[in-house]
Amino acid sequence: MIYLFCRAVVRGLFAILYRFESVGVHNIPSEGGVLICSNHISIRDPISVGIHVKRQVKFMAKAELFKIPVFGWLVRQLGAFPVKRGGVSKDSIKMALTILRSGEIMGIFPEGTRNSDATAAKRGAASFALRSGATVIPAAIIGDYKLFRKVKIIYGAPVDLSQFEGDKSPEALDAATGMIMAKIHEMRASGKPTVN
């Protein structure tokens, strides 16, 4: 399978180039819909989120990324699907919900764009989670992707959003988003997975 081959190759490259390490992979359920929510600091982040996860992780990614020679092909093989700049289309939303409801894993960056400070987040991740019933796994990427300097990704315990079940109000989405981002911030600060 192309995905498995690409993942193995990139895993080896990241191990050499960034001394890449993953912590807390055991927190990701072995079955069922899962939404991995991570901070976003680099174009390499989708690869970092998925290369040590046993199951394939699929992503929304800016359509422009798919036009980059070699990298665009690689991102597609690693499970990404394009989203046009200027907002998420109905087709993209349907695709995301289909992935989660069919028991697959999707990765998403709640901030919506690269943000080294991780100070803002949009409601999309929380909306997908609440509409699909997927398990939410917070992830924190730590490092700056400078050659031969360590980059680490930490996967935390599932975020319990059960209190918001059935509530689609903006207030509920904001609160759920805040909970997800708080877990990501906590792991970035501590360097350790969150626990329940």
SS3 89: coil
Is 1-57+85-195 a CATH 1.10.10.10 domain? no
For residue 191, the number of C-alpha atoms closer than 13 Å in the C-beta half-sphere is 5
Query: How high is the pLDDT of residue 158?
Result: 98
Helix, strand, coil shares of the chain, percent, nearest 5, are: 40, 20, 40
Give per-residue pLDDT as tens, 137-188: 999 999 999 999 999 999 999 999 999 988 889 999 999 999 999 999 999 9
